[in-house]
Protein backbone atom coordinates (compact mmCIF):
# COMPACT_ATOMS: atom_id res chain seq x y z
CA UNK A 1 0.00 0.00 0.00
CA UNK A 2 2.97 2.34 -0.35
CA UNK A 3 1.11 4.14 -3.16
CA UNK A 4 -2.20 4.26 -1.25
CA UNK A 5 -4.01 7.21 0.32
CA UNK A 6 -2.10 6.60 3.57
CA UNK A 7 1.04 8.05 2.03
CA UNK A 8 -0.35 11.12 0.28
CA UNK A 9 0.39 14.56 1.78
CA UNK A 10 -1.89 15.90 4.50
CA UNK A 11 -1.77 19.09 6.55
CA UNK A 12 -2.64 19.22 10.24
CA UNK A 13 -2.50 22.71 11.67
CA UNK A 14 1.00 23.99 10.86
CA UNK A 15 2.38 20.50 10.18
CA UNK A 16 2.67 18.55 6.96
CA UNK A 17 2.45 14.95 8.16
CA UNK A 18 4.57 12.17 6.73
CA UNK A 19 1.55 9.88 6.38
CA UNK A 20 -2.11 9.58 7.40
CA UNK A 21 -1.56 6.88 10.04
CA UNK A 22 -2.16 7.90 13.66
CA UNK A 23 -1.13 6.43 16.98
CA UNK A 24 -4.25 7.18 19.07
CA UNK A 25 -4.40 7.69 22.84
CA UNK A 26 -3.85 4.30 24.51
CA UNK A 27 -3.82 3.94 28.29
CA UNK A 28 -0.74 1.91 29.28
CA UNK A 29 -0.21 2.76 33.00
CA UNK A 30 3.60 2.84 32.95
CA UNK A 31 4.24 6.18 34.67
CA UNK A 32 6.79 6.39 37.48
CA UNK A 33 5.59 6.35 41.08
CA UNK A 34 5.14 8.29 43.20
CA UNK A 35 4.10 11.29 41.20
CA UNK A 36 2.56 9.81 38.00
CA UNK A 37 5.58 10.97 35.98
CA UNK A 38 6.36 10.13 32.36
CA UNK A 39 9.70 8.32 32.22
CA UNK A 40 12.43 7.07 29.84
CA UNK A 41 10.56 3.81 29.23
CA UNK A 42 7.60 5.79 27.95
CA UNK A 43 9.95 7.92 25.85
CA UNK A 44 11.28 4.75 24.23
CA UNK A 45 7.74 3.51 23.56
CA UNK A 46 6.68 6.70 21.78
CA UNK A 47 9.96 7.06 19.93
CA UNK A 48 9.57 3.53 18.55
CA UNK A 49 6.24 4.66 16.99
CA UNK A 50 7.43 8.03 15.69
CA UNK A 51 6.99 6.91 12.08
CA UNK A 52 3.27 7.61 12.49
CA UNK A 53 2.06 10.76 10.82
CA UNK A 54 0.71 11.86 14.20
CA UNK A 55 1.17 10.47 17.71
CA UNK A 56 -1.31 11.29 20.48
CA UNK A 57 -0.27 10.36 24.00
CA UNK A 58 -2.26 8.35 26.44
CA UNK A 59 -4.60 10.46 28.52
CA UNK A 60 -2.65 12.63 30.97
CA UNK A 61 -4.64 14.07 33.85
CA UNK A 62 -4.79 17.85 34.08
CA UNK A 63 -5.07 17.92 37.88
CA UNK A 64 -5.04 15.44 40.80
CA UNK A 65 -8.85 15.08 40.77
CA UNK A 66 -8.70 14.07 37.12
CA UNK A 67 -7.26 10.60 37.76
CA UNK A 68 -9.43 7.49 37.48
CA UNK A 69 -6.85 4.72 37.16
CA UNK A 70 -3.63 4.03 39.07
CA UNK A 71 -0.28 4.74 37.41
CA UNK A 72 -1.60 6.99 34.64
CA UNK A 73 0.55 10.09 34.00
CA UNK A 74 -0.27 13.69 34.81
CA UNK A 75 0.76 17.04 33.40
CA UNK A 76 0.14 19.39 36.33
CA UNK A 77 3.44 19.34 38.29
CA UNK A 78 6.94 20.50 37.31
CA UNK A 79 8.18 16.91 37.61
CA UNK A 80 5.48 15.67 35.26
CA UNK A 81 6.24 18.40 32.72
CA UNK A 82 9.94 17.46 32.84
CA UNK A 83 9.06 13.81 32.39
CA UNK A 84 6.98 14.52 29.31
CA UNK A 85 9.83 16.62 27.92
CA UNK A 86 11.92 13.44 27.68
CA UNK A 87 9.12 11.95 25.58
CA UNK A 88 8.76 14.87 23.19
CA UNK A 89 12.52 15.14 22.71
CA UNK A 90 12.71 11.43 21.88
CA UNK A 91 9.90 11.71 19.32
CA UNK A 92 11.25 14.88 17.75
CA UNK A 93 14.65 13.21 17.39
CA UNK A 94 12.88 10.86 14.94
CA UNK A 95 11.06 13.74 13.21
CA UNK A 96 7.74 12.79 14.75
CA UNK A 97 4.75 14.99 15.55
CA UNK A 98 3.21 14.41 18.98
CA UNK A 99 0.16 15.87 20.74
CA UNK A 100 -0.67 15.38 24.43
CA UNK A 101 -4.16 14.18 25.27
CA UNK A 102 -5.50 16.22 28.19
CA UNK A 103 -7.76 14.14 30.41
CA UNK A 104 -10.10 14.58 33.34
CA UNK A 105 -12.15 11.53 34.29
CA UNK A 106 -14.71 13.39 36.42
CA UNK A 107 -16.96 10.88 38.16
CA UNK A 108 -15.10 7.84 36.79
CA UNK A 109 -12.82 7.67 39.82
CA UNK A 110 -12.57 6.45 43.41
CA UNK A 111 -11.85 8.14 46.71
CA UNK A 112 -8.58 6.18 46.86
CA UNK A 113 -7.38 8.16 43.83
CA UNK A 114 -8.68 11.54 44.96
CA UNK A 115 -6.80 14.14 47.03
CA UNK A 116 -7.45 13.50 50.73
CA UNK A 117 -9.93 10.76 49.84
CA UNK A 118 -12.57 13.22 48.65
CA UNK A 119 -15.50 12.31 46.43
CA UNK A 120 -14.89 12.54 42.67
CA UNK A 121 -16.36 15.57 40.89
CA UNK A 122 -18.81 15.69 38.01
CA UNK A 123 -21.43 17.81 36.32
CA UNK A 124 -24.04 16.38 38.70
CA UNK A 125 -24.09 14.05 41.69
CA UNK A 126 -25.11 11.04 39.60
CA UNK A 127 -23.14 7.81 39.95
CA UNK A 128 -22.07 5.84 36.90
CA UNK A 129 -23.02 2.19 36.50
CA UNK A 130 -21.50 -0.94 34.95
CA UNK A 131 -18.06 0.66 35.18
CA UNK A 132 -14.83 -0.15 37.02
CA UNK A 133 -11.83 1.97 37.93
CA UNK A 134 -8.38 0.72 38.91
CA UNK A 135 -6.78 1.53 42.24
CA UNK A 136 -3.40 0.60 43.70
CA UNK A 137 -3.63 -1.92 46.54
CA UNK A 138 0.14 -2.32 47.08
CA UNK A 139 3.26 -1.10 45.26
CA UNK A 140 2.92 -2.43 41.72
CA UNK A 141 -0.38 -4.18 42.46
CA UNK A 142 -3.97 -3.07 42.07
CA UNK A 143 -7.59 -4.03 41.69
CA UNK A 144 -10.67 -3.05 39.73
CA UNK A 145 -13.35 -1.44 41.91
CA UNK A 146 -16.63 0.39 41.42
CA UNK A 147 -16.34 4.18 41.20
CA UNK A 148 -17.22 6.26 44.25
CA UNK A 149 -20.32 8.43 44.22
CA UNK A 150 -19.49 11.89 42.83
CA UNK A 151 -20.44 15.35 43.98
CA UNK A 152 -21.60 18.13 41.69
CA UNK A 153 -19.21 20.94 40.87
CA UNK A 154 -20.36 24.46 41.75
CA UNK A 155 -20.57 27.03 38.97
CA UNK A 156 -17.40 28.69 40.22
CA UNK A 157 -15.62 25.32 40.29
CA UNK A 158 -16.65 24.63 36.68
CA UNK A 159 -15.09 27.90 35.62
CA UNK A 160 -11.98 27.11 37.64
CA UNK A 161 -11.74 23.81 35.77
CA UNK A 162 -11.72 25.68 32.47
CA UNK A 163 -8.63 27.48 33.75
CA UNK A 164 -7.06 24.16 34.77
CA UNK A 165 -7.47 22.91 31.19
CA UNK A 166 -5.84 26.09 29.90
CA UNK A 167 -2.95 25.70 32.34
CA UNK A 168 -2.51 22.05 31.31
CA UNK A 169 -2.26 23.18 27.68
CA UNK A 170 0.44 25.67 28.69
CA UNK A 171 2.22 22.87 30.53
CA UNK A 172 2.08 20.72 27.39
CA UNK A 173 3.72 23.50 25.40
CA UNK A 174 6.40 23.80 28.10
CA UNK A 175 6.98 20.07 27.76
CA UNK A 176 7.64 20.45 24.05
CA UNK A 177 4.44 19.00 22.60
CA UNK A 178 3.35 20.06 19.12
CA UNK A 179 -0.24 20.43 20.29
CA UNK A 180 -2.90 18.98 22.55
CA UNK A 181 -5.99 16.83 22.18
CA UNK A 182 -8.90 17.41 24.56
CA UNK A 183 -10.43 14.13 25.72
CA UNK A 184 -14.14 14.86 25.43
CA UNK A 185 -15.24 11.27 24.90
CA UNK A 186 -15.96 7.92 26.49
CA UNK A 187 -18.00 9.13 29.44
CA UNK A 188 -15.30 11.28 31.05
CA UNK A 189 -15.73 14.81 32.43
CA UNK A 190 -16.50 16.87 29.31
CA UNK A 191 -18.80 14.08 28.11
CA UNK A 192 -20.51 14.15 31.53
CA UNK A 193 -21.46 17.78 30.89
CA UNK A 194 -22.66 17.05 27.35
CA UNK A 195 -24.93 14.13 28.24
CA UNK A 196 -28.41 14.63 29.70
CA UNK A 197 -27.91 11.32 31.53
CA UNK A 198 -25.16 12.78 33.72
CA UNK A 199 -25.98 16.50 33.66
CA UNK A 200 -29.09 17.71 35.46
CA UNK A 201 -27.66 21.10 36.39
CA UNK A 202 -29.86 24.18 36.59
CA UNK A 203 -27.16 26.81 35.99
CA UNK A 204 -25.75 27.96 32.65
CA UNK A 205 -23.96 24.61 32.23
CA UNK A 206 -27.10 22.46 32.29
CA UNK A 207 -30.57 22.06 30.84
CA UNK A 208 -30.69 22.71 27.09
CA UNK A 209 -28.20 21.11 24.72
CA UNK A 210 -26.67 24.52 24.15
CA UNK A 211 -26.07 24.90 27.88
CA UNK A 212 -24.71 21.36 28.21
CA UNK A 213 -22.22 22.20 25.47
CA UNK A 214 -21.09 25.37 27.26
CA UNK A 215 -18.31 23.67 29.23
CA UNK A 216 -16.95 22.15 26.00
CA UNK A 217 -17.15 25.56 24.34
CA UNK A 218 -15.40 27.34 27.19
CA UNK A 219 -12.58 24.80 27.38
CA UNK A 220 -11.97 24.60 23.63
CA UNK A 221 -12.07 28.35 23.14
CA UNK A 222 -9.89 29.01 26.17
CA UNK A 223 -7.24 26.51 25.19
CA UNK A 224 -7.24 27.65 21.55
CA UNK A 225 -6.79 31.28 22.59
CA UNK A 226 -3.93 30.31 24.89
CA UNK A 227 -1.80 28.10 22.65
CA UNK A 228 -3.23 28.67 19.16
CA UNK A 229 -6.17 26.94 17.53
CA UNK A 230 -3.88 25.18 15.05
CA UNK A 231 -2.45 23.22 17.99
CA UNK A 232 -5.78 21.90 19.29
CA UNK A 233 -7.69 18.69 18.57
CA UNK A 234 -10.78 17.21 20.21
CA UNK A 235 -11.84 13.60 20.62
CA UNK A 236 -15.50 12.53 20.67
CA UNK A 237 -17.03 9.06 20.84
CA UNK A 238 -20.62 9.18 19.56
CA UNK A 239 -22.34 5.89 20.29
CA UNK A 240 -25.22 4.93 18.00
CA UNK A 241 -27.05 2.34 20.06
CA UNK A 242 -30.03 1.97 22.36
CA UNK A 243 -30.06 2.52 26.10
CA UNK A 244 -30.95 -1.09 26.83
CA UNK A 245 -27.78 -2.49 25.28
CA UNK A 246 -25.24 -3.69 27.85
CA UNK A 247 -22.19 -2.08 26.26
CA UNK A 248 -21.93 1.70 26.43
CA UNK A 249 -19.17 4.21 27.03
CA UNK A 250 -18.88 4.14 30.81
CA UNK A 251 -22.64 3.97 31.20
CA UNK A 252 -23.29 6.83 28.76
CA UNK A 253 -25.47 6.85 25.66
CA UNK A 254 -27.46 9.64 23.98
CA UNK A 255 -31.06 9.43 22.80
CA UNK A 256 -30.11 11.46 19.71
CA UNK A 257 -26.34 11.15 19.19
CA UNK A 258 -26.53 12.57 15.66
CA UNK A 259 -27.97 15.91 16.77
CA UNK A 260 -25.92 16.08 19.98
CA UNK A 261 -22.58 15.57 18.29
CA UNK A 262 -23.18 17.59 15.16
CA UNK A 263 -24.03 20.51 17.44
CA UNK A 264 -20.86 19.78 19.44
CA UNK A 265 -18.81 19.70 16.24
CA UNK A 266 -20.24 23.11 15.29
CA UNK A 267 -18.64 24.40 18.49
CA UNK A 268 -15.27 23.13 17.28
CA UNK A 269 -15.79 24.59 13.83
CA UNK A 270 -16.63 28.00 15.30
CA UNK A 271 -13.31 28.00 17.16
CA UNK A 272 -11.43 26.69 14.11
CA UNK A 273 -9.34 23.96 15.72
CA UNK A 274 -6.92 21.72 13.82
CA UNK A 275 -8.66 18.37 14.02
CA UNK A 276 -11.54 16.25 15.23
CA UNK A 277 -10.88 12.66 16.29
CA UNK A 278 -13.84 10.29 16.42
CA UNK A 279 -13.52 7.05 18.36
CA UNK A 280 -15.90 4.37 17.15
CA UNK A 281 -17.21 1.52 19.26
CA UNK A 282 -14.66 -1.29 18.90
CA UNK A 283 -16.07 -4.25 20.80
CA UNK A 284 -17.51 -7.39 19.22
CA UNK A 285 -20.96 -6.78 17.70
CA UNK A 286 -20.53 -3.04 18.25
CA UNK A 287 -23.07 -0.78 16.53
CA UNK A 288 -21.97 0.71 13.23
CA UNK A 289 -21.53 4.43 12.77
CA UNK A 290 -24.13 5.56 10.22
CA UNK A 291 -22.90 6.88 6.90
CA UNK A 292 -25.27 9.84 7.28
CA UNK A 293 -23.44 10.87 10.43
CA UNK A 294 -20.02 10.59 8.77
CA UNK A 295 -21.32 12.71 5.91
CA UNK A 296 -22.69 15.32 8.31
CA UNK A 297 -19.36 15.43 10.15
CA UNK A 298 -17.52 16.14 6.90
CA UNK A 299 -20.06 18.78 5.91
CA UNK A 300 -19.85 20.48 9.33
CA UNK A 301 -16.13 20.46 10.14
CA UNK A 302 -13.47 21.99 7.90
CA UNK A 303 -10.41 20.79 9.85
CA UNK A 304 -8.79 17.38 9.62
CA UNK A 305 -10.95 14.40 10.60
CA UNK A 306 -9.51 11.28 12.24
CA UNK A 307 -11.40 8.03 12.78
CA UNK A 308 -10.31 5.30 15.18
CA UNK A 309 -11.98 1.90 15.39
CA UNK A 310 -11.42 -1.68 14.41
CA UNK A 311 -9.81 -0.75 11.13
CA UNK A 312 -7.34 -2.83 9.22
CA UNK A 313 -5.14 -1.55 6.42
CA UNK A 314 -7.77 -2.16 3.75
CA UNK A 315 -10.82 -0.76 5.55
CA UNK A 316 -8.86 2.28 6.67
CA UNK A 317 -7.70 2.97 3.13
CA UNK A 318 -11.29 2.73 1.89
CA UNK A 319 -12.35 5.32 4.46
CA UNK A 320 -9.59 7.68 3.36
CA UNK A 321 -10.47 7.19 -0.28
CA UNK A 322 -14.12 7.99 0.43
CA UNK A 323 -13.06 11.48 1.46
CA UNK A 324 -14.86 11.20 4.80
CA UNK A 325 -11.62 10.90 6.78
CA UNK A 326 -8.23 12.56 6.49
CA UNK A 327 -6.37 10.22 8.85
CA UNK A 328 -6.99 6.80 10.39
CA UNK A 329 -5.85 5.72 13.85
CA UNK A 330 -4.85 2.18 14.77
CA UNK A 331 -4.82 1.23 18.45
CA UNK A 332 -4.17 -2.45 19.10
CA UNK A 333 -2.09 -2.91 15.92
CA UNK A 334 0.18 -0.01 16.90
CA UNK A 335 0.71 -1.38 20.41
CA UNK A 336 2.14 -4.59 18.98
CA UNK A 337 3.78 -3.17 15.85
CA UNK A 338 6.03 -0.16 16.45
CA UNK A 339 6.78 -0.02 12.71
CA UNK A 340 3.12 -0.16 11.67
CA UNK A 341 3.35 2.39 8.82
CA UNK A 342 6.11 0.36 7.14
CA UNK A 343 4.12 -2.84 7.61
CA UNK A 344 1.08 -1.23 6.02
CA UNK A 345 3.15 0.18 3.15
CA UNK A 346 4.72 -3.18 2.31
CA UNK A 347 1.90 -5.51 3.35
CA UNK A 348 4.10 -7.17 5.93
CA UNK A 349 2.45 -9.41 8.55
CA UNK A 350 1.58 -7.99 11.97
CA UNK A 351 2.77 -9.07 15.39
CA UNK A 352 -0.10 -10.33 17.57
CA UNK A 353 -0.98 -8.30 20.66
CA UNK A 354 -0.54 -9.84 24.11
CA UNK A 355 -3.63 -8.62 26.03
CA UNK A 356 -2.08 -9.55 29.39
CA UNK A 357 0.59 -6.82 29.10
CA UNK A 358 -1.52 -3.91 27.87
CA UNK A 359 -2.06 -2.25 31.25
CA UNK A 360 0.69 -1.70 33.79
CA UNK A 361 3.93 -3.62 34.19
CA UNK A 362 7.30 -2.87 32.68
CA UNK A 363 9.05 -3.23 29.32
CA UNK A 364 7.40 -6.58 28.55
CA UNK A 365 4.59 -6.11 26.08
CA UNK A 366 5.44 -2.43 25.86
CA UNK A 367 8.79 -1.75 24.15
CA UNK A 368 9.84 -5.31 23.28
CA UNK A 369 7.62 -5.91 20.24
CA UNK A 370 9.96 -6.50 17.28
CA UNK A 371 10.09 -4.52 14.05
CA UNK A 372 9.77 -6.50 10.83
CA UNK A 373 12.97 -8.15 9.64
Q: Are 221 and 159 in contact (CB under 8 A)?
A: no
Task: Give the H/E segment covering residue 328.
Answer: strand 327-329
Query: Burial, 330: exposed, middle or buried (Cβ in 10 Å; 0-12, 13-18, 19+)?
Result: buried
Cβ contacts of 366 within 8 Å, gap of 6 or more = 28, 30, 41, 45, 357
Euclidean distance between CA atoms 61 and 68, whole angstroms: 9
Euclidean distance between CA atoms 90 and 40, whole angstroms: 9
Q: Are 211 and 195 in contact (CB under 8 A)?
A: no
Query: Burial, 249: exposed, middle or buried (Cβ in 10 Å; 0-12, 13-18, 19+)?
Result: buried
Cβ contacts of 244 within 8 Å, gap of 6 or more = none
Which of the following is catalytic: 188, 205, 249, 359? Answer: 188
188 in active site: yes
Which active-site residues does the annotation give? Answer: 188
Amino acid sequence: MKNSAYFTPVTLGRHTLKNRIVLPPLTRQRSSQPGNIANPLMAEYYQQRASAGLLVTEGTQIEPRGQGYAWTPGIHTPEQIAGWRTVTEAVHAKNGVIFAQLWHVGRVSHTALQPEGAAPVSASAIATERVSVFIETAPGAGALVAPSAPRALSTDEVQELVQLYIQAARNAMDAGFDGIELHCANGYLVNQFISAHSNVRTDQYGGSLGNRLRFLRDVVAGVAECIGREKVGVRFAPLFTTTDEARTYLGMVEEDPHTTYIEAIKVLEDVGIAYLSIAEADWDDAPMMPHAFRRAVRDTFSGAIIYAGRYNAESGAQLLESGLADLVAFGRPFMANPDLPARIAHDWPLNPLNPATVYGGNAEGYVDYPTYE
